[in-house]
Amino acid sequence: MKKIVTIIGARPQIIKSSAISRAIQSDFKEELNEVIVHTGQHYDENMSKVFFEEMNIPTPNYNLQVGSGSHGSQTAKMIEGLEAIFLSEKPDGVVVYGDTNSTIAGALAAAKIHIPVIHIEAGLRSFNKSMPEELNRISCDHMSTLLFTPTKTGIENLQREGFSLEHSSVATIDSPNVYHCGDIMYDNSLHFAKVANNFQTVMEAEKLSENGFILMTVHRDSNTDIAENMEAIFTSVDELSKKYQIEFVLPLHPRTKSKLKSQLSDSTYDQVIENERIKIIDPVGFMDIITLERNARMLVTDSGGLQKESFFFEKPCVILREQTEWIEIVNNGNAILTGANAGRIMSAFSTLFEQDNFTYPSYYGDGNAAKFICQKIVDEIE
Ligand code: UD1
Ligand code: UDP
């Protein structure tokens, strides 16, 4: 039996982790013992607790409760807490997801004391190092022992950075094994789409109809922390909702919600609040977001997760960023990058709204990525 410590902290990691926990429960109970550590990066009930309940994720064995803070202070608290746990738990490997501060803290704390790091969602790049996530993911990849890329682009990026695609029977930090295995979030979307059929509450509560609304989220620091960008985004939404006479539903990340008033001009803020077609609601659970994604006419987002889920549920997507790590959906015409530029947002929206000949190739695997990952951990970590 091997012991792994899984690090979660931000909302998308909690969601992602359910795929591996489910695979362990169904197929690897005898081979893998999972200890879960929540760093406490996200802590509001609707950013954390809701997912454990509805996605059947085991309660974390530890919660560091680091909360919010500057990058340095938040990451440092995590590293300190995680190191102590690793020293007492003595795991065979540490699993980290994605590219958040919880990811880099887990990887750094483990690698420095010679515990193999298993990076799920490796190899993704925006090629924009002003993003905190880009620094986190590059550093994490280069201290990992097992790397699992969700896309072909991911493995090509790693190869370009010098990773060998040869596999050894035992992986080490100096001779890591890299696999392209598909996206565990595709596993999750397939699995929970069946369950979410029963969760119509959000549609009823918000009085929404199929294809009658646009689902939108915004939370990237490049959008929320620059007033001009917030202004461009929200002016566009206001105009689009009027031009197309369609509702926008925004389950807003607390980061964005707390900055609406201070970042928007008074007139835009008033217009947004008074516009009955703009519904700003609290973040919702995963069953509700899946229901919204499936029923929306289109998505507008800067979220990595929502970009892909738009593709999984065959909806076009306006991406409020200048680059994306999920470049295949842009190259295939399912999504358009607009940054926070009002003209580009309006034009991308119109193009996608009026088009109906999209294709959805299988870029993200076959829904069995989590089982593949578990098997490699069992076989290749010493
Ligand atoms: C983090 C990740 C980002 C990911 C996002 C997913 C980093 C550097 N960023 O960004 O990559 O896309 O999570 O959602 O790790 N807040 C609350 N309640 C909470 C959590 C946060 O009010 O439960 C507020 C606080 O004001 C906090 C702010 O949101 O300062 C930002 O939170 P933080 O975790 O630092 O970054 P995110 O923007 O959530
Ligand atoms: N999500 C959710 N409720 C919401 C908004 C998002 O469950 O109100 C889910 C979404 O479906 C996706 C994940 O959270 O799986 C994405 O998280 P987020 O947008 O916070 O981060 P990112 O993916 O950009 O890192």
Q: Evaluate: CB of 11 within 6 angstroms of ligand 2.
A: yes
Q: Evaluate: CB of 141 within 6 angstroms of ligand 1.
A: no
Active site residues: 219
CATH fold of the domain at 2-183+365-380: Rossmann fold (3.40.50)
Q: Which ligand is nearest to the CA of 140?
A: 1
**Whole-number pLDDT of residue 122:** 98
What's the 3-state SS for 43-74? CCHHHCHHHHHHCCCCCCCEECCCCCCCHHHH
Q: N- to C-terminal Cα distance for the chain?
A: 11
Q: Evaluate: CB of 44 within 6 angstroms of ligand 1.
A: yes
- State which ligand 1 atom lies nearest to the alpha carbon of 10: 13
In order of 56, 58, 65, 106, 262, the CA distances from 38 in angstroms are 15, 11, 8, 11, 31
This prediction has a pTM of: 0.97
Q: Which residues pair with 249 in a beta bridge?
A: 215, 279
316 closest CA partner among 292, 342, 302, 296: 296
Q: Which of 137, 206, 289, 317 to mutate to test the pocket of ligand 2 (most atoms within 8 A of CB)?
A: 289
Q: Which ligand is nearest to the CA of 12?
A: 2
Cβ–Cβ under 8 Å, residues 134 and 99:
yes
- State which ligand 1 atom lies nearest to the alpha carbon of 258: 26
**Whole-number pLDDT of residue 198:** 63
Which H or E run contains 146? strand 146-149
Cα(6)–Cα(154) distance, rounded to whole angstroms?
22
For the chain, the domains span 2-183+365-380, 196-353
Cα(82)–Cα(52) distance, rounded to whole angstroms?
21
Same fold: 2-183+365-380 with 196-353: yes
Cα(367)–Cα(363) distance, rounded to whole angstroms?
11
Which H or E run contains 317? strand 317-319
Alpha helices in the chain (DSSP H): 11-27, 49-54, 71-89, 101-112, 132-141, 152-160, 184-196, 201-205, 221-224, 227-243, 254-257, 260-263, 266-274, 286-295, 304-312, 327-331, 342-353, 369-380
Tens of each residue's pLDDT in the chain, 382 residues: 999 999 999 999 999 999 999 999 999 999 999 999 999 999 999 999 999 989 999 999 999 999 999 999 999 999 999 999 999 999 999 999 999 999 999 999 999 999 999 999 999 999 999 999 999 999 999 999 999 999 999 999 999 999 999 999 999 999 999 999 999 999 999 999 888 876 668 898 899 999 999 999 999 999 999 999 999 999 999 999 999 999 999 999 999 999 999 999 999 999 999 999 999 999 999 999 999 999 999 999 999 999 999 999 999 999 999 999 999 999 999 999 999 999 999 999 999 999 999 999 999 999 999 999 999 999 999 9
Q: Evaluate: CB of 306 within 6 angstroms of ligand 2.
A: yes
Q: Whose CA is nearest to atom 22 of ligand 1?
A: 254
Cα(242)–Cα(22) distance, rounded to whole angstroms?
44
Buried b (16+ CB within 10 A) or exposed e, 112-122: eeebbbbbbbb
The architecture that CATH gives domain 196-353 is 3-Layer(aba) Sandwich (3.40)
Q: Which of 11, 131, 133 to mutate to test the pocket of ligand 2 (most atoms within 8 A of CB)?
A: 11
User: How many CB atoms within 10 Å of residue 133?
Assistant: 20
